[in-house]
Structure 1
Amino acid sequence: MDGTCLYGLRLGLAVGAGIALQLALVARTKHTRPVWTTTATTTALFLGLGGLLEFGSRQPTPETRSLVTGTLALAAVAAVTWFVVRLRTGRPAPATLLIAVTALLIGREGLEGALYFWSAARAATGVSASAQPLLGLALGLAIALLAVWGLYAGVRRAGPERTARWTAAALGVIAAGMLVQGVSALQDAGAPGATGSAAQPAYDLTATVPPDSWYGTALNGLVHFLPDPTVLQVTVWFLYAVPALLFALAPIGFGRSVGGAGAKEKTTDG
């Protein structure tokens, strides 16, 4: 795969995995409209904003782009966390929460993705026109869509109790990756960064999982996996992921009973 295809794959997985898990849960109660409507609206909003910036007289600085990405990533972590808490405590997720989770999952990649799309579109219509970047991006997104659909179908086939528990765990891992993404982006935007030992690489797996390979790209899109993270990034990941997984996989219910299928199905009631 070339770079544009890999970018499309990463973008599609980063946005689609969380939404697919959310849809698999709310599909049991037929409350999918807020998710689909928000997906279409937020995508159109960022494409419009990206078009204005790409073809306008001024473009956002790298620091501004990092600030937007980092802020929206941290907001997405908060929304996903609240969604998981409601899921595991047996309380319905209101439509406003479904809208917030969907919008923020798209938003954290929205500005960069929109700018990349319009840059590829401009390359396809310029003086030295080449449709390759646009076609590569479309191919990567299509592959990601197939993978996300498989994830959705697999979750739907599981029983209600297993679905709620393991979906909560998967969302916890995804949120941990988003937290690392948010912290790293805010540091790139100028926020106080780690120094000393915290800024040193915790390990280096680039030879085993090259970041420009399809599987390295897929892991980055799904859980923001970095083959050479810093000590700070690893610390942030574990501080969130460990409690989130313990909470998600706890064998006992919280709040209302979560032992029966009926209770599970009500957890995603909009």
Structure 2
Amino acid sequence: MGKMLFRIMLIGALFFCFSQPNTGKMSAQSISPSTPFLKINNYYVLFTAPKAPYIDQNNRYMVPLRSINDLLGGQTKFNPTSNTATIKFGTHKVEFKMNSTEIVTDSNTSVMDTVPVLYKNAMFVPLGVLTKHLDIHQEWDQQNKLYSLSGKELMKTPMMENVEDSDHFREQVDNENAFQLLSYKLTMGEKIHLAITAKNMTGKKISEGIEDLNTTFIFSDNSTAGENRNRKRPNIDKDEIVTREYDIDYVKTIENNKIIKNELSYILFKGRTLKP
């Protein structure tokens, strides 16, 4: 095959195995998030390589530097000599230094209460400190453990354009925020297994055929795996809590007669309804 690159998709790579909805009438309080959630505009961000966003010992929400470029739309640059990361967004610029509390914003130097760290060759930075100095609107919902960022300028990136283009139901969406994410569990082994639990927040019964708990898996080669558009979509009672489970194969390619597994880069989730 020389140096030509051929994509092979294992059976089921683009189609999920859905469990039957959990229709037990649980209270929202009975399911506690294992970690605070990150939401950017209408997307919950469940995973960012090499690991999901997390809260550090100083109570700061940490995300990998690459996600700033891919999700928010900032321009990032890392200098390995000085261990310094520079992030530009609009007219603002922020500089972090590995394991240092010093931060340079535009032309001003200040001190923060945590430090950027390195994990599996990825620099993790405090998202709240960054967005504050980049003038990105942010909110913290203590009750639901939800950290949200919003703005028309966010997610205008090539990766997100690809995600939107691969959304089969983009023109049929009725309510982008019909479901509240309550919990999720991700297991990565031979396959990727994801279980999502969400609550109907529309204040009414959702008719059969229009529920869309929509999950997008993005891989290291920028390919995406999404919904099986033909799956059954049961009716959902008012305030009902449902669980969906997904099993998916890693996207693989063949190059120079070798099978290469493309690693998972991101998982994005929307809990929405479609037009009847």
TM range (shorter): under 0.3
Flag the structure with higher helix content: 1
Tell me the TM-score normalised to structure 2 length: 0.23
Tell me the TM-score normalised to structure 1 length: 0.23
Q: For CA contacts below 8 A with separation 6 or more, give which structure has more relative contact order.
A: 1
